[in-house]
Protein backbone atom coordinates (compact mmCIF):
# COMPACT_ATOMS: atom_id res chain seq x y z
CA UNK A 1 0.00 0.00 0.00
CA UNK A 2 1.51 3.32 -1.09
CA UNK A 3 0.26 5.47 1.79
CA UNK A 4 2.16 8.54 0.65
CA UNK A 5 0.50 8.45 -2.76
CA UNK A 6 -2.91 7.97 -1.13
CA UNK A 7 -2.59 11.02 1.10
CA UNK A 8 -1.04 13.16 -1.65
CA UNK A 9 -3.98 12.29 -3.89
CA UNK A 10 -6.48 13.21 -1.16
CA UNK A 11 -4.79 16.55 -0.50
CA UNK A 12 -4.73 17.38 -4.23
CA UNK A 13 -8.35 16.27 -4.60
CA UNK A 14 -9.82 18.19 -1.69
CA UNK A 15 -7.69 21.13 -0.62
CA UNK A 16 -7.15 23.30 -3.76
CA UNK A 17 -10.85 23.82 -4.41
CA UNK A 18 -11.57 24.15 -0.70
CA UNK A 19 -8.95 26.90 -0.43
CA UNK A 20 -10.59 28.66 -3.39
CA UNK A 21 -13.94 28.45 -1.61
CA UNK A 22 -12.28 29.85 1.53
CA UNK A 23 -10.91 32.78 -0.48
CA UNK A 24 -14.41 33.73 -1.65
CA UNK A 25 -15.82 33.12 1.82
CA UNK A 26 -13.33 35.57 3.36
CA UNK A 27 -13.98 38.01 0.51
CA UNK A 28 -17.70 37.98 1.29
CA UNK A 29 -16.91 38.46 4.98
CA UNK A 30 -14.78 41.48 4.07
CA UNK A 31 -17.56 42.93 1.92
CA UNK A 32 -20.17 42.41 4.64
CA UNK A 33 -17.79 44.00 7.17
CA UNK A 34 -17.20 47.03 4.97
CA UNK A 35 -13.53 46.01 4.66
CA UNK A 36 -13.14 47.00 8.31
CA UNK A 37 -11.21 44.92 10.82
CA UNK A 38 -13.65 44.36 13.70
CA UNK A 39 -11.59 41.88 15.72
CA UNK A 40 -7.94 41.73 16.64
CA UNK A 41 -5.54 40.55 13.95
CA UNK A 42 -4.40 37.50 15.99
CA UNK A 43 -8.05 36.44 16.40
CA UNK A 44 -8.67 36.91 12.67
CA UNK A 45 -5.63 34.76 11.82
CA UNK A 46 -6.72 32.14 14.37
CA UNK A 47 -10.26 31.97 12.96
CA UNK A 48 -8.89 31.75 9.42
CA UNK A 49 -6.71 28.80 10.44
CA UNK A 50 -9.72 27.12 12.04
CA UNK A 51 -11.65 27.37 8.77
CA UNK A 52 -8.73 25.82 6.87
CA UNK A 53 -9.10 22.83 9.24
CA UNK A 54 -12.85 22.63 8.50
CA UNK A 55 -14.08 24.38 11.63
CA UNK A 56 -16.76 27.08 11.50
CA UNK A 57 -16.04 30.03 13.81
CA UNK A 58 -17.53 33.45 13.10
CA UNK A 59 -14.95 35.56 11.25
CA UNK A 60 -14.49 39.27 11.92
CA UNK A 61 -17.50 39.20 14.28
CA UNK A 62 -19.83 38.31 11.38
CA UNK A 63 -22.55 36.20 12.98
CA UNK A 64 -23.38 33.01 11.11
CA UNK A 65 -20.28 33.05 8.89
CA UNK A 66 -20.86 29.37 8.16
CA UNK A 67 -24.13 30.16 6.35
CA UNK A 68 -22.21 31.92 3.57
CA UNK A 69 -21.06 28.45 2.49
CA UNK A 70 -24.17 26.70 3.89
CA UNK A 71 -21.97 24.89 6.38
CA UNK A 72 -20.76 22.21 3.95
CA UNK A 73 -17.28 22.04 5.49
CA UNK A 74 -18.52 19.76 8.29
CA UNK A 75 -18.45 16.70 6.03
CA UNK A 76 -14.81 17.32 5.10
CA UNK A 77 -13.85 17.07 8.77
CA UNK A 78 -15.46 13.62 8.86
CA UNK A 79 -13.82 12.71 5.55
CA UNK A 80 -10.35 13.55 6.86
CA UNK A 81 -11.11 11.66 10.06
CA UNK A 82 -11.78 8.63 7.87
CA UNK A 83 -8.61 9.10 5.82
CA UNK A 84 -6.49 9.43 8.97
CA UNK A 85 -7.97 6.21 10.33
CA UNK A 86 -7.13 4.14 7.22
CA UNK A 87 -3.51 3.38 8.12
CA UNK A 88 -4.52 2.16 11.59
CA UNK A 89 -7.47 0.15 10.23
CA UNK A 90 -5.33 -1.33 7.45
CA UNK A 91 -2.53 -2.43 9.76
CA UNK A 92 -4.82 -3.81 12.49
CA UNK A 93 -7.57 -5.55 10.53
CA UNK A 94 -6.22 -6.15 7.02
CA UNK A 95 -2.54 -6.83 7.82
CA UNK A 96 -1.37 -4.11 5.44
CA UNK A 97 2.31 -3.41 5.97
CA UNK A 98 2.55 0.09 7.41
CA UNK A 99 5.54 1.94 8.80
CA UNK A 100 5.58 3.21 12.36
CA UNK A 101 6.05 6.76 11.04
CA UNK A 102 2.89 6.52 8.96
CA UNK A 103 0.88 5.15 11.87
CA UNK A 104 2.15 7.88 14.22
CA UNK A 105 1.46 10.72 11.78
CA UNK A 106 -2.01 9.50 10.80
CA UNK A 107 -2.85 8.80 14.45
CA UNK A 108 -1.94 12.40 15.24
CA UNK A 109 -4.28 13.55 12.46
CA UNK A 110 -6.94 11.21 13.80
CA UNK A 111 -6.73 12.80 17.24
CA UNK A 112 -6.91 16.31 15.74
CA UNK A 113 -10.07 15.58 13.77
CA UNK A 114 -11.69 13.74 16.68
CA UNK A 115 -11.21 16.92 18.72
CA UNK A 116 -12.54 19.11 15.90
CA UNK A 117 -15.65 16.98 15.51
CA UNK A 118 -16.16 16.80 19.27
CA UNK A 119 -15.97 20.60 19.48
CA UNK A 120 -17.96 21.64 16.41
CA UNK A 121 -19.97 18.68 15.07
CA UNK A 122 -20.85 16.42 18.01
CA UNK A 123 -24.55 16.04 17.11
CA UNK A 124 -25.17 12.63 15.50
CA UNK A 125 -21.42 12.22 15.03
CA UNK A 126 -21.54 8.42 14.95
CA UNK A 127 -24.46 8.47 12.51
CA UNK A 128 -22.55 10.85 10.23
CA UNK A 129 -19.58 8.46 10.20
CA UNK A 130 -21.72 5.41 9.48
CA UNK A 131 -21.91 5.87 5.66
CA UNK A 132 -18.22 4.98 5.48
CA UNK A 133 -19.26 1.48 6.55
CA UNK A 134 -21.44 1.27 3.45
CA UNK A 135 -18.48 2.30 1.34
CA UNK A 136 -16.27 -0.32 2.97
CA UNK A 137 -18.96 -2.95 2.44
CA UNK A 138 -19.16 -2.04 -1.25
CA UNK A 139 -15.46 -2.72 -1.74
CA UNK A 140 -15.90 -6.49 -1.34
CA UNK A 141 -18.73 -7.44 -3.75
CA UNK A 142 -17.26 -5.21 -6.47
CA UNK A 143 -14.36 -7.65 -6.68
CA UNK A 144 -16.68 -10.59 -7.30
CA UNK A 145 -17.60 -10.94 -10.99
CA UNK A 146 -20.68 -13.08 -10.31
CA UNK A 147 -22.07 -10.55 -7.86
CA UNK A 148 -21.34 -7.74 -10.32
CA UNK A 149 -23.18 -9.50 -13.14
CA UNK A 150 -26.17 -10.18 -10.89
CA UNK A 151 -26.49 -6.64 -9.52
CA UNK A 152 -25.89 -4.97 -12.90
CA UNK A 153 -28.86 -6.80 -14.42
CA UNK A 154 -31.52 -4.29 -15.54
CA UNK A 155 -34.36 -6.28 -13.96
CA UNK A 156 -33.01 -5.32 -10.53
CA UNK A 157 -33.26 -1.57 -11.26
CA UNK A 158 -36.99 -1.19 -10.45
CA UNK A 159 -36.35 -2.69 -7.01
CA UNK A 160 -33.50 -0.23 -6.46
CA UNK A 161 -35.75 2.65 -7.56
CA UNK A 162 -38.34 1.50 -5.04
CA UNK A 163 -35.69 1.49 -2.30
CA UNK A 164 -34.67 5.00 -3.34
CA UNK A 165 -38.29 6.19 -3.16
CA UNK A 166 -38.72 4.54 0.24
CA UNK A 167 -35.57 6.08 1.71
CA UNK A 168 -35.95 9.63 0.39
CA UNK A 169 -39.68 10.32 0.63
CA UNK A 170 -40.78 8.45 3.72
CA UNK A 171 -38.14 9.37 6.30
CA UNK A 172 -36.99 12.70 7.69
CA UNK A 173 -33.36 11.61 7.90
CA UNK A 174 -31.25 9.11 6.00
CA UNK A 175 -29.54 8.04 9.23
CA UNK A 176 -32.54 6.03 10.43
CA UNK A 177 -31.91 2.27 10.10
CA UNK A 178 -34.28 1.58 7.18
CA UNK A 179 -33.26 4.44 4.82
CA UNK A 180 -29.62 3.93 5.77
CA UNK A 181 -29.80 0.27 4.74
CA UNK A 182 -31.65 1.21 1.53
CA UNK A 183 -29.05 3.81 0.55
CA UNK A 184 -26.20 1.38 1.27
CA UNK A 185 -27.77 -1.30 -0.92
CA UNK A 186 -28.32 1.20 -3.73
CA UNK A 187 -24.73 2.40 -3.45
CA UNK A 188 -23.36 -1.14 -3.51
CA UNK A 189 -25.46 -1.95 -6.57
CA UNK A 190 -24.20 1.13 -8.44
CA UNK A 191 -20.61 0.38 -7.40
CA UNK A 192 -21.05 -3.13 -8.81
CA UNK A 193 -22.19 -1.76 -12.18
CA UNK A 194 -25.93 -1.07 -12.12
CA UNK A 195 -26.46 2.07 -14.21
CA UNK A 196 -30.23 2.62 -13.65
CA UNK A 197 -31.24 1.77 -17.23
CA UNK A 198 -28.21 3.65 -18.60
CA UNK A 199 -28.99 6.96 -16.88
CA UNK A 200 -25.76 6.94 -14.87
CA UNK A 201 -23.59 6.30 -17.94
CA UNK A 202 -24.95 9.26 -19.92
CA UNK A 203 -22.36 11.91 -20.68
CA UNK A 204 -24.37 14.51 -18.78
CA UNK A 205 -24.62 12.25 -15.72
CA UNK A 206 -20.90 11.55 -15.76
CA UNK A 207 -20.18 15.27 -16.08
CA UNK A 208 -22.40 16.03 -13.06
CA UNK A 209 -20.57 13.33 -11.15
CA UNK A 210 -17.18 14.84 -12.01
CA UNK A 211 -18.16 18.37 -10.96
CA UNK A 212 -20.19 17.29 -7.92
CA UNK A 213 -17.49 18.33 -5.43
CA UNK A 214 -17.35 21.80 -6.96
CA UNK A 215 -21.15 22.01 -6.84
CA UNK A 216 -21.12 20.91 -3.22
CA UNK A 217 -18.58 23.52 -2.13
CA UNK A 218 -19.57 26.52 -4.25
CA UNK A 219 -23.38 26.41 -4.33
CA UNK A 220 -23.77 28.22 -1.01
CA UNK A 221 -21.48 31.07 -2.07
CA UNK A 222 -23.45 31.53 -5.30
CA UNK A 223 -26.82 31.44 -3.55
CA UNK A 224 -25.67 33.92 -0.90
CA UNK A 225 -24.29 36.29 -3.54
CA UNK A 226 -27.49 36.04 -5.57
CA UNK A 227 -29.92 36.71 -2.74
CA UNK A 228 -27.75 39.21 -0.88
CA UNK A 229 -26.35 41.39 -3.67
CA UNK A 230 -28.40 40.71 -6.83
CA UNK A 231 -31.89 39.97 -5.47
CA UNK A 232 -31.98 41.62 -2.07
CA UNK A 233 -33.74 40.00 0.86
CA UNK A 234 -36.81 42.24 0.75
CA UNK A 235 -37.30 41.56 -2.96
CA UNK A 236 -36.71 37.82 -2.52
CA UNK A 237 -39.45 37.64 0.12
CA UNK A 238 -41.99 38.97 -2.42
CA UNK A 239 -41.13 36.47 -5.15
CA UNK A 240 -43.89 34.13 -6.22
CA UNK A 241 -43.14 30.40 -6.14
CA UNK A 242 -42.75 30.42 -9.93
CA UNK A 243 -40.37 33.41 -9.84
CA UNK A 244 -38.41 31.85 -7.01
CA UNK A 245 -37.88 28.59 -8.88
CA UNK A 246 -36.92 30.50 -12.02
CA UNK A 247 -34.20 32.24 -10.00
CA UNK A 248 -33.06 28.91 -8.54
CA UNK A 249 -33.00 27.34 -12.02
CA UNK A 250 -30.88 30.24 -13.26
CA UNK A 251 -28.53 29.76 -10.32
CA UNK A 252 -28.25 26.06 -11.19
CA UNK A 253 -27.28 26.86 -14.78
CA UNK A 254 -24.68 29.42 -13.67
CA UNK A 255 -23.37 27.04 -11.02
CA UNK A 256 -22.83 24.25 -13.55
CA UNK A 257 -20.96 26.62 -15.86
CA UNK A 258 -18.74 27.79 -12.99
CA UNK A 259 -18.08 24.33 -11.61
CA UNK A 260 -17.17 22.96 -15.03
CA UNK A 261 -14.41 25.57 -15.12
CA UNK A 262 -13.22 24.82 -11.59
CA UNK A 263 -13.13 21.09 -12.36
CA UNK A 264 -11.27 21.34 -15.67
CA UNK A 265 -8.82 24.06 -14.59
CA UNK A 266 -8.29 23.31 -10.88
CA UNK A 267 -9.47 19.88 -9.76
CA UNK A 268 -8.53 17.61 -12.67
CA UNK A 269 -5.08 19.07 -13.51
CA UNK A 270 -3.94 18.85 -9.89
CA UNK A 271 -5.37 15.37 -9.40
CA UNK A 272 -3.57 14.24 -12.55
CA UNK A 273 -0.30 15.37 -10.97
CA UNK A 274 -0.62 12.89 -8.11
CA UNK A 275 2.23 10.66 -9.33
CA UNK A 276 4.52 13.62 -10.01
CA UNK A 277 3.87 15.30 -6.67
CA UNK A 278 4.23 11.98 -4.83
CA UNK A 279 7.65 11.47 -6.41
CA UNK A 280 8.66 15.04 -5.54
CA UNK A 281 7.61 14.58 -1.92
CA UNK A 282 9.37 11.21 -1.72
CA UNK A 283 12.57 12.70 -3.21
CA UNK A 284 12.38 15.62 -0.78
CA UNK A 285 12.07 13.24 2.17
CA UNK A 286 14.95 11.15 0.86
CA UNK A 287 17.16 14.24 0.54
CA UNK A 288 16.26 15.34 4.04
CA UNK A 289 17.19 11.91 5.34
CA UNK A 290 20.38 11.70 3.28
CA UNK A 291 22.67 13.76 5.56
CA UNK A 292 21.73 11.57 8.48
CA UNK A 293 22.44 8.46 6.45
CA UNK A 294 25.81 9.82 5.32
CA UNK A 295 26.72 10.73 8.88
CA UNK A 296 25.89 7.20 10.00
CA UNK A 297 27.96 5.74 7.18
CA UNK A 298 30.92 8.00 7.99
CA UNK A 299 30.68 7.08 11.67
CA UNK A 300 30.75 3.39 10.72
CA UNK A 301 33.85 3.91 8.54
CA UNK A 302 35.62 5.78 11.37
CA UNK A 303 34.69 3.07 13.87
CA UNK A 304 36.03 0.36 11.56
CA UNK A 305 39.27 2.30 11.07
CA UNK A 306 39.73 2.68 14.82
CA UNK A 307 39.11 -1.03 15.38
CA UNK A 308 41.50 -1.96 12.60
CA UNK A 309 44.19 0.34 13.96
CA UNK A 310 43.70 -1.06 17.47
CA UNK A 311 43.96 -4.60 16.16
CA UNK A 312 47.24 -3.76 14.38
CA UNK A 313 48.65 -2.30 17.59
CA UNK A 314 47.71 -5.42 19.54
CA UNK A 315 49.29 -7.60 16.87
CA UNK A 316 52.51 -5.57 17.00
CA UNK A 317 52.72 -6.01 20.77
Residue-level pLDDT at 312:
57
Q: Does residue 112 contact residue 54 with C-beta atoms inside 8 Å? A: no
**Which residues lie closer than 8 Å to 89 by C-beta, 6 or more apart?**
none
**88-92 CB contacts, 8 Å cutoff, 24+ apart:** 90/1
Average pLDDT over residues 269-295: 84
Residue 316 has pLDDT above 60, yes or no: no
Residue 103 has pLDDT above 90, yes or no: yes
Buried b (16+ CB within 10 A) or exposed e, 135-150: eeebeebeeeeebbee
pLDDT digit string (tens) for 171-187?
A: 888 888 899 999 999 99
Residue-level pLDDT at 149:
83
Residue-level pLDDT at 118:
95
Residue 86 has pLDDT above 80, yes or no: yes
Query: How far apart, in Å, are the Cα atoms of 109 and each of 35, 88, 202?
Result: 35, 11, 39
pLDDT digit string (tens) for 31-73?
A: 999 999 999 999 999 999 999 999 999 999 999 999 999 999 9
Residue 234 has pLDDT above 90, yes or no: no
Average pLDDT over residues 90-96: 88
Q: Does residue 137 contact residue 183 with C-beta atoms inside 8 Å? A: no
Residue-level pLDDT at 190:
92
Helices 3-32, 73-93: axis angle to 10 degrees equals 160
Average pLDDT over residues 156-173: 90
Average pLDDT over residues 17-25: 97
Query: Whose CA is closest to 129, among 87, 167, 74, 71?
Result: 74
Q: Which DSSP helix (H) or strand (E) runs through 233?
A: helix 233-237
Average pLDDT over residues 209-218: 96
Residue 140 has pLDDT above 80, yes or no: yes
What are the two backbone dihedrals, phi and then psi, of residue 101, each rounded to the nearest 5 degrees?
Answer: -60, -45
Band the pLDDT of 300: cuts 50, 70, 90.
low
Band the pLDDT of 94: cuts 50, 70, 90.
confident
The residue count for the chain: 317
pLDDT digit string (tens) for 202-213?
A: 999 999 999 999
Residue-level pLDDT at 308:
55
Residue-level pLDDT at 170:
87
Amino acid sequence: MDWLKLYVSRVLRIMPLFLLAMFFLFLLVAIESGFTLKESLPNLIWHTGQWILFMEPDVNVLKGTKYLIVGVQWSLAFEWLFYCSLAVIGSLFFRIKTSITTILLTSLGLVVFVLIIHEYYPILAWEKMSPFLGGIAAAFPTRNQRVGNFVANPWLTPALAALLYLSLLNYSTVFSPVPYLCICLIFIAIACGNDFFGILTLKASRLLGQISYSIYLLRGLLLYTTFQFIIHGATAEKLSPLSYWCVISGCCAVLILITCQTYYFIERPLLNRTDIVTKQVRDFIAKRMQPSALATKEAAVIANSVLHHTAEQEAAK
